[in-house]
Amino acid sequence: MDVERAAAAPPTENASPAEQIQIEDRLQDSAKDGSDLRRDVLEGLTAEFKGLPPKYFYDELGSELFEQITELPEYYPTRVERSILAEQAEAIVAAADPQCLIELGSGSASKTRVLLSAMHEAGSLHTYVPVDISEEITRATAHELISEYPELRVHGVLCDFENDLERLPAWGQRRMFAFLGGTIGNFDRPKRIAFLSRIASLLGPMDTLLLGTDLVKDPERLEAAYNDSAGVTSRFNKNVLSVLNRELDADFDLDAFEHLAFYDDENERIDIRLLSLADQLVHVRALGLEVPFAEGEEMRTELSCKFTRQSIERSYAESGLELVELWTDPEQQFALSLARGA
């Protein structure tokens, strides 16, 4: 039986774990065999202003370092988003009325539970679709969740949601896409509009998008969140160089670069870079590439865009979406917003 039809098969009552959990591997070969990485790194390191895509931060160590970041006193977004979810899950579920939750970049789904629980309370919990590249985490999470919610079907999809969004199977229920954590901030404006437009084209009339966005605030507080005193963010940032050393047989000296993160007021975003501390030549052997870095040269490793209610509404409007409702915390540090097709 092909996967599309298996995915569309109606669930049965009293399913066994094997029937309740289905994990589909939709990861493209170019992601598995490293050709995406080689293409992105070649492009990024040969550009006049060098840059690397943030998705390559997240190898095993990088994911662990990001977990540590979320627990830092200076890094408020994860905690605040979780508190908004805890306060507002019922209201979110009432506004969206979903039967199926599709989470882009689900990871360990720690924030998702609150939503699933509200769907369960509302009597509408049907399917959870975690979309992630890690099979291990997705499987482990699926098993935990079905023991907590006996009525739940978990249909995991292993893929890079940025590349494979249109390849997600279609489900015939009221769906809420969730893109949490403020990860939308990694896209610059053109990429953000392109990505949200793609989501808009997937939304049926009953479907919604729940989006987490960090908000514009005092630059000092913003900059502190990306320049923690324990130096975890610096290690996280430099870890992308270790990924290249390992995956592409490169010879980056991590001590020859310095972590930089500053708030760009005009573009309303944190700009994260690695500063070369010396004139140096880096070899990326898997690409047959020699990359010169000048002393003081900066390479961009991540953007983290910050929003206002107005800029969220504008992003939606430019993407064929419409704001339904927006929830924030008492200090207005972070926002969760619900959108539907315009």
Please spell the DSSP secondary structure of 216-255, one letter per residue: ---HHHHHHHTS-TT-HHHHHHHHHHHHHHHHS-B---GG
Shorter beta-carbon distance to ligand AVJ: residue 69 or 299? 69
Residue ranges in 180-199 that form contacts with ligand AVJ under rule CB under 6 A: 181-183, 185-186
- Stretch of 156-164, 176-184, 191-199, 311-319 contacting ligand AVJ, by CB under 6 A: 176-184
Structure tokens at 233: 């963010």
- Minimum distance of ligand AVJ from residue 183's CB (angstroms): 5
Shortest distance, position 226 Cβ to ligand AVJ, whole Å? 5
Task: Output the smallest distance, CB 124 to ligand AVJ, in A.
Answer: 29
Report residue 329 as tokens.
């915390």
Using CA atoms, how far apart are residues 249 and 337, in angstroms rounded to an integer?
42
Give the tokens for residue 117: 């629980």
Stretch that binds ligand AVJ, among 12-20, 32-40, 165-173, 179-187 (CB under 6 A): 179-187
Nearer to ligand AVJ by Cβ, of 185 and 341: the residue is 185
Q: Which residue is nearest to ligand AVJ (CB)?
A: 304
Q: Minimum distance between the CB of residue 118 and ligand AVJ, rounded to whole angstroms?
A: 23
Select 186 or 315, whichever has its Cβ closest to ligand AVJ.
186
Gap between the Cα atoms of 52 and 40, Å rounded: 7
Rule CB under 6 A: is residue 77 a binding residue for ligand AVJ? yes
Choose one: 177-185, 190-198, 215-223, 320-328; the region binding ligand AVJ (CB under 6 A): 177-185
Cβ nearer to ligand AVJ, comparing 235 with 314: 235
Q: What is the DSSP letter of 12?
A: P
- Nearest distance in Å: CB 233, ligand AVJ: 5
- Tell me if 8 sits within 8 A of 171, measured CB to CB: yes
**Per CB under 6 A, 62 contacts ligand AVJ:** no
Return the residue of 69, 129, 142, 158 that touches ligand AVJ, per CB under 6 A: 69
- The residues that bridge with 210 in the sheet, in sequence order, are 178, 338
- Pick from 83, 50, 137: which is nearest to 329 by CA? 83
* Residue among 103, 298, 302, 329 that touches ligand AVJ (CB under 6 A): 302
Identity at 43, one-letter amino acid code: E
Nearest-approach distance from CB 123 to ligand AVJ, in angstroms: 32
C-alpha triplet 242, 180, 135: angle, nearest 5°: 55
Our CB check for ligand AVJ shows the closer of 99 and 337 to be 337
**What is the pattern of x (binds ligand AVJ, CB under 6 A) and - over residues 227-266?**
------x--x------------------------------
User: By C-beta, is 75 or 171 nearer to ligand AVJ?
Assistant: 75
The correct pick among 226, 252, 263, 334 for binding ligand AVJ (CB under 6 A) is: 226
22 or 304: CB nearest ligand AVJ: 304
Nearer to ligand AVJ, 71 or 295 (CB): 71
Cα–Cα dist 290/304, whole Å: 29
Closest CA relative to residue 287, chosen from 45, 42, 44, 50? 42
Range 21-24 contact pairs with CB under 8 angstroms and sequence separation of 24 or more: 21/139, 21/142, 21/143, 21/146, 21/153, 21/154, 21/156, 22/153, 22/154, 22/155, 22/156, 23/135, 23/138, 23/139, 23/142, 23/156, 23/157, 23/158, 24/155, 24/156, 24/157, 24/158, 24/169
**Sign (positive or negative) of CA dihedral 149, 155, 158, 164:** negative
Q: Dihedral of CA 41/55/301/67: which sign?
A: negative
- Closer to ligand AVJ at the Cβ: 116 or 272? 272
Residues binding ligand AVJ (CB under 6 A): 69, 77, 181-183, 185-186, 226, 233, 236, 302, 304
